[in-house]
């Protein structure tokens, strides 16, 4: 599938190769991997995927597609304490929804536990690994600092047979958690802390979602990750910058084990303004009920974005648009919202909806009469044609579209003024009706019967056009207006003694009533609409035929497009 399905004008042009594409091009040219390109996306199933993961998926899978290669989905399931089948299932669903098909290439690091164990024995036999009895605290205390060497463990020089025996007894469950670990024997005075005899295996007496009770020792991420890449013949192992300092260790394992040399390339992880991307913190929001679940439409998770009304194309477009960087930076969330608008503009069906209704009576329109007017379904897809919208003597307009005492720049309805009702007639406000407290309850207007499409004055110009719906045909719906979940650009910037949750936006969800015209009730969840002049909306899975629920994806105001136009 093509990455970039709805590029605007400027994106259509070929962009130059990013630094990863340059490396791969050079590797192909110098025949490093026999021309082969094979990438993978390696999530740990300890949470739902978020927009940062989407970036990694699009990057890894996009590279494979670009270079006619293959990509794997691999679950890095080496920690039984945090991993759950629910997460495995959700990850597969989300990757598929993004539009990627790993075919039969679905793997689990846990499938490699036997090989990893044999390879650990191989390292023991080469005197490159040893069983250590120090506690986690002691190991960390003896590791030294970047400027001061670490101390060698007193167990470092155990002989091969003793190590093999202890390691196998670790596996058999003879020891308690924390009693022993297996460590690589590298260099306690290396300037790279990751080379100071890192732990390869620890004892965890816990069942695993796939291997059950078979194991009570589990490989660390650092020992399992690179080896899993090698086993799968991954040519280019793309990961985020924090793993750059781990690369010498991964290369050391490859050399000592004499296995396939996957090449690790690091890029800067995606950070988004007004958004947190830590799975741990997202989990906290879910557990503590700050959001309704992983799929709350305010969450930066893929499932949340989907429910919010994002399309896979908009997310892939965003991922491509932000490119790959070598240095950490923060992307403006307005660009993500812009990506949604770009795609929804092409896809969303137009309807008129009124969120804050003001009744308007057209006094010269015959009582008991109604008619239909033709409304465009989507101006970007003229082939879809038009939809019939009922019009009658009593309509609702948006309260904000009327001002009793309009300022200079307000061109919409006011006493004595004319506006066009979209797809219908020009009306003139004759009278404002108020209740005893002075609140406006109704407008009385007259219409000009010759201004409808097809009639002589159809093209008569007025300063403004507003949307409306016919009151007898109005159907009440629930509308969920979402705003950013955090008030601060950097949610982690919380000040002394407070954390990211103190920056939660108390008004990130407003539930209100809205009115749509009858005729679009046969909704399916995720159906997408543009409420004309208001924003993009998506039918929520909570919708019932008698009570449709719409989520606002984004408003129509494009802060990102504006800010780039101004530059």
Q: What minimum distance in Å lies between the beta carbon of 336 and ligand ATP?
A: 13
- Listed in sequence order, the residues at least 6 apart from 208 whose beta carbon sits closer than 8 Å to its beta carbon are 77, 80, 83, 110, 214, 215, 218
Which of residues 24, 37, 52, 334 is near ligand ATP by CB under 6 A? 52
In the complex, which residue's CB is closest to ligand ATP?
Answer: 52
Quote the CA–CA distance of 218 and 220 in Å, as a whole number.
Answer: 6
53 vs 467, which CB is nearer to ligand ATP? Answer: 53
Q: What minimum distance in Å lies between the beta carbon of 225 and ligand ATP?
A: 9
* Active-site entry in 180, 279, 341, 420: 279
Q: Does 240 bind ligand ATP (CB under 6 A)?
A: yes
Which of residues 38, 74, 171, 279 is near ligand ATP by CB under 6 A? 279
What residues does 240 pair with on adjacent strands?
A: 267
Q: What minimum distance in Å lies between the beta carbon of 110 and ligand ATP?
A: 14
Buried b (16+ CB within 10 A) or exposed e, 9-26: eeeeeeeeebebbeebee
Cβ distance 175 to 169 under 8 Å?
A: yes
Give the 3-state secondary structure percentages of the chain, helix then strand then coil, rounded to 5.
30, 25, 45
User: What residues numbered 85-144 form the site for ligand ATP, per CB under 6 A?
Assistant: none
Considering only CA atoms, give the Rg of the chain.
31
Q: SS3 for 132? A: strand
* 418 catalytic residue (yes or no): no
Q: Does 320 bind ligand ATP (CB under 6 A)?
A: no
Q: Does 269 bind ligand ATP (CB under 6 A)?
A: yes
Q: Does 270 bind ligand ATP (CB under 6 A)?
A: yes
Q: Does 249 bind ligand ATP (CB under 6 A)?
A: no
Quote the CA–CA distance of 309 and 383 in Å, as a whole number.
Answer: 23
Q: What minimum distance in Å lies between the beta carbon of 241 and ligand ATP?
A: 9
Q: Does 62 bind ligand ATP (CB under 6 A)?
A: no
Q: What are phi and psi of 286, to 5 degrees?
A: -70, -50
Q: Does 56 bind ligand ATP (CB under 6 A)?
A: yes
Q: What minimum distance in Å lies between the beta carbon of 151 and ligand ATP?
A: 29
Q: What minimum distance in Å lies between the beta carbon of 36 and ligand ATP?
A: 20
43 vs 312, which CB is nearer to ligand ATP? Answer: 43
Which of residues 55, 158, 183, 210 is near ligand ATP by CB under 6 A? 55
Widest pairwise Cα distance in the chain = 102
Cβ distance 360 to 396 under 8 Å?
A: yes
Q: What minimum distance in Å lies between the beta carbon of 271 and ligand ATP?
A: 7
Cβ distance 268 to 241 under 8 Å?
A: yes
Which of residues 20, 42, 220, 426 is near ligand ATP by CB under 6 A? 42
* 26 catalytic residue (yes or no): no
Q: Does 357 bind ligand ATP (CB under 6 A)?
A: no
Beta strands per DSSP E along 22-136? 38-41, 70-75, 106-108, 129-132
* 269 catalytic residue (yes or no): yes
Q: Tell how far CA 171 is from the center of its chain.
A: 39
Helices (H), 172-310: 221-231, 247-257, 279-287, 302-308
Stretch that binds ligand ATP, among 26-34, 47-55, 161-169, 458-466 (CB under 6 A): 47-55
* Active-site entry in 122, 269, 281, 428: 269
- Residues carrying an active site annotation: 44, 269, 279
- Positions in the binding site for ligand ATP (CB under 6 A): 42-44, 46, 52-53, 55-56, 239-240, 269-270, 277, 279
């Amino acid at each position: 599938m093509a990455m970039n399905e709805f590029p605007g004008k400027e994106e259509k042009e070929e962009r130059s190769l990013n630094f990863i594409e340059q490396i791969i091009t050079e590797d192909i040219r110098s025949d490093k991997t026999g021309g082969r390109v094979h990438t993978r996306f390696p999530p740990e199933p300890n949470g739902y995927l978020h927009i940062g993961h989407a970036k990694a998926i699009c990057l890894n899978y996009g590279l494979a597609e670009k270079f006619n290669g293959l990509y794997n989905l691999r679950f890095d399931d080496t920690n039984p304490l945090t991993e759950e089948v629910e997460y495995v299932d959700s990850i597969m669903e989300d990757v598929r929804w993004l539009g990627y098909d790993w075919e039969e290439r679905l793997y689990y690091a846990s499938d490699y536990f036997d090989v990893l164990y044999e390879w650990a024995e191989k390292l023991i036999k080469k005197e490159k690994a040893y069983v250590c009895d120090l506690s986690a605290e002691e190991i960390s205390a003896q590791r030294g600092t970047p400027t001061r060497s670490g101390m060698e463990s007193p167990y470092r020089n155990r002989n091969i047979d003793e190590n093999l025996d202890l390691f196998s007894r670790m596996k058999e469950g003879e020891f308690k958690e924390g009693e022993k670990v297996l460590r690589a024997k590298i260099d306690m005075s290396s300037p790279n802390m990751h080379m100071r005899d890192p732990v390869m295996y620890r004892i965890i007496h816990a069942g695993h979602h796939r291997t059950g009770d078979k194991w009570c020792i589990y490989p660390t991420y650092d020992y399992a990750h690179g080896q899993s890449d090698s086993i799968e013949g991954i040519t280019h192992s793309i990961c985020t910058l924090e793993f750059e300092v781990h690369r010498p260790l991964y290369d050391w394992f490859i050399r000592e084990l004499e296995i396939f040399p996957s090449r690790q390339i690091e890029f800067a992880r995606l950070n988004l303004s007004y958004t947190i991307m830590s799975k741990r913190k997202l989990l906290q929001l879910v557990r503590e009920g700050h959001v309704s679940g992983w799929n709350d439409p305010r969450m930066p998770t893929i499932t949340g974005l989907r429910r919010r009304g994002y399309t896979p194309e908009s997310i892939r477009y965003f991922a491509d648009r932000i490119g790959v960087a070598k240095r950490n930076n923060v992307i403006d969330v307005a660009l993500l919202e812009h990506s949604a608008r770009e795609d929804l503009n092409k896809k969303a069906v137009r309807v008129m909806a009124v969120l804050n209704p003001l009744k308007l009576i057209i006094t010269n329109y015959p009582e008991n009469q109604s008619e239909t007017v033709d409304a465009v379904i989507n101006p970007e897809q003229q082939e879809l044609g038009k939809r019939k919208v009922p019009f009658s003597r009593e309509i609702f307009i948006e309260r904000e579209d009327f001002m009793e005492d309009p300022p200079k720049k307000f061109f919409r309805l006011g006493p004595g003024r004319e506006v066009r009702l979209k797809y219908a007639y020009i009306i003139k406000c004759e009278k404002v009706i108020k209740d005893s407290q002075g609140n406006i309850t109704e407008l009385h207007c007259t219409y000009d019967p010759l201004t409808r499409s097809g009639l002589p004055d159809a093209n008569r110009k007025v300063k403004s056009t507003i949307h409306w719906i016919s009151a007898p045909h109005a159907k009440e719906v629930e509308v969920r207006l979402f705003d950013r979940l955090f008030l601060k650009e950097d949610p982690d910037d919380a000040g002394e003694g407070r954390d990211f949750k103190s920056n939660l936006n108390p008004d990130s969800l407003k539930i209100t009533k809205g009115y749509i015209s009858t005729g679009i009730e046969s909704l399916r969840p995720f159906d997408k609409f543009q409420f004309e002049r208001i924003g993009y909306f998506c039918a929520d899975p909570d919708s019932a035929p008698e009570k449709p629920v719409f989520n606002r994806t984004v408003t129509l105001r494009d802060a990102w497009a504006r800010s780039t136009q101004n530059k």
